[in-house]
Amino acid sequence: MPQQHMDDRSGQSASHPQEPIVRAPRDLTYDEKKAAEAAFRGEPFNPAWSVAAAAVYEGIVSAMCRMQVAALTDMEAIPVAEECLTR
């Protein structure tokens, strides 16, 4: 079994230091699609949808809210710590 070479100073792999984890794209499930549509339309979240659908919904609503704030303040969208929900 091949061993991974480690950098002596950081303990991380010398061949891939601090590379971001990239996930392969996948199709959204039915409820994730419904959650995305609801978020774009400003409709409420359906509690019967999955946890993954909730993450899609919250991500879209949050991004849209940041974009609206940026447009109103004539600034670029920046990450915000507090929640910004439309429901």
Q: Where are the domains of the chain?
A: 30-73
Q: Is the pTM of this model over 0.75?
A: no
Structure tokens at 6: 């480690």
Burial of 39 (0-12, 13-18, 19+ CB in 10 A): buried
- pLDDT > 50? residue 7: no
Q: Read off the pLDDT of residues 61-72 as tens digits, 9 standing for 90 and up.
A: 998 888 877 777
Task: Considering only CA atoms, give the Rg of the chain.
Answer: 19
Residues 6 or more apart whose Cβ sits within 8 Å of residue 44: 38, 87
* pLDDT for the residue 24: 84
pLDDT top residue among 4 and 84: 84
Residues 6 or more apart whose Cβ sits within 8 Å of residue 7: 13, 14, 17
